[in-house]
Chain A
């Protein structure tokens, strides 16, 4: 079922023309200045490299700058006739049955308490809208850790009991996590997708207001050509200094950037993987992901599936929109610089894979640009590093160059032409493009009193922006080295893995910081000494980068501090509207986490092992057994393998088994029932777990 693409209106085309013209003209102007400096005595190979690198990096900065500027313009004027939320559409037929929507939460070895507290908050918020009946909830578990798996089952059953959610709140754990998250969603779509018109995809740490969920379905009903509607998730709830700075930046600058993205992307927007609503039928028809030929890093499973799914929907003629003005969509972010880098590492390979897709046939131009933007999110770092190295080397050779004042028959000296003005202009333009959006976001606060107060008032917000800028200058070189390392590791085919995220607040220890940032600090010191020794003039320009690297360990540790984060909050710094005026759904979440009073008695106990509890506790055992998917009886080899594990458990106890072996034991119904009987027939001598 492919729809014809609605021809872009004149206004859409005009917007994109304006945007890309501005990007191209600004890039060309900066390049012109650079060329005027370099070409006086011919372009050396090093200068040519510098010029190419600068062209790529500056155009990347330009896209971000003009996006922010367009967003500033849209929010300042308050006029955006093509925002999807403001476009009128045909009224839905009142006699037609109301659409059913599935709210999906794919999870993988997450903190179950937080997952279900969040899901309950969303459920409570939907109850407040009076529209709960139109939604079902699915916890789609890909969890491999047996301890977490059993905990999830109990939390799910507890939530069903507490919220009277039988037949509305569902849970399943996939036997194999084929194709990771995209496979998880595909499994849902192919098994139960027929019951629903829409699915709202969440992340494990997503929170969404009930009224936002209801509004998303209304927009989809009004616009039958829209297959996917992405909301901008606002970062929330972390308390470390690092996370609070990022939350502040996300809150203050984020809305300007998303408004700007919508300004030029319109119905050819992108999908960010969660906090989005998707029309299921076109997703089924067009978003089955193939395996890319070849081996990793560019072949195999498509890792960052979201961009590809949006591009496939666009290829089939469906619209994909960013509802930038829809509030009530939240996510949590990594609490420390190291966790942030770990998340980057997971995302890096998927984004680099997009390089191949950007050059594939059939996708439209903006989809290709989205792919390239994903690539540049990570490739920019090694390119910046190359640029800095090339600049340093070039500066070194410049210092070795003796100026000649007398040429041929000239009796008067010929003074070298100074290009200080041009170079300073290039630098100033670059810095302006990088930092002006922060100033523009502050200006927008002047327009909106409520938002200004929510960010702590103009003075505090300005101070917060200044400190955030300083912090981003300090951390940018560290992230540059991290991302460069990830890109190189992926290109060299080192495994990236799929580690679960450590989402809760926690401090970075000196050991962890030293192990993670030690080499970066050393690089900073060596680069500092070398540049000071051989290119002193360059050294002073290089200082912001060097300081960031040399201070990486203390900055990483201090910024992970929850005490400093709280202190900054008491001082009114880095405040966000979600902190000063928390929406009800976040209050629900906080209450659920604080008052964790499960209905199921077994959840009130905190046993050393939920795995052992699944073997010993009759209720946990029966519940787990009832949730196992039907499967073929194991073959002879498999039976021998399980038999071996049973004997190992009998003799050496559960600690001798790996997580995968424990999972194998509790995945087989016969083995599970047998172990239950075994444990009750011979209670462990010292475990004290059975009467």
Chain B
């Protein structure tokens, strides 16, 4: 009886606090500002850092274009997944995480094949160059992703954090490929990809706190 009173008190309190609210837009609509701002931000940053001189030639290489399209697909699909996962009831659409994870898996396989064929040749790590620029490139996309998810109420914080990290990774990686002219798989994996993987892992560990609601 006492417990029922407590519940009634909570209900009455919540009813008193009720205010008309605008429900969240469709996940596709919510993800559009992220993609727009993130693409403009990375393009601007790439121009400021300096586009690699051999970019026109690289566009003619099938393997370079394959990488770019794969990462773009991963990033966009991960951003859409984050948007879906940001609201309760996402369990109905849990399959939505499969495309970005598959793209990431294909990318890992692709890197492995390249590593076997060309060797993990890593002339210079460029710790001060690629890693720093990579962080800058991921900063705004990552922040926007976190804000997008925090506007909702995710019931899958860890998976959502993973999707956020993949979305920012894809865009940051593309940005770095436009600015850094070092194409060896060792450099690309360690300097371009590894920092994002580390950030993703840290985000995953703190996901419950980050997306607490």
Decide whether A and B assemble into one complex: no
A interface, CB within 8 angstroms of B: none
Interface residues of B (CB under 8 A from A): none
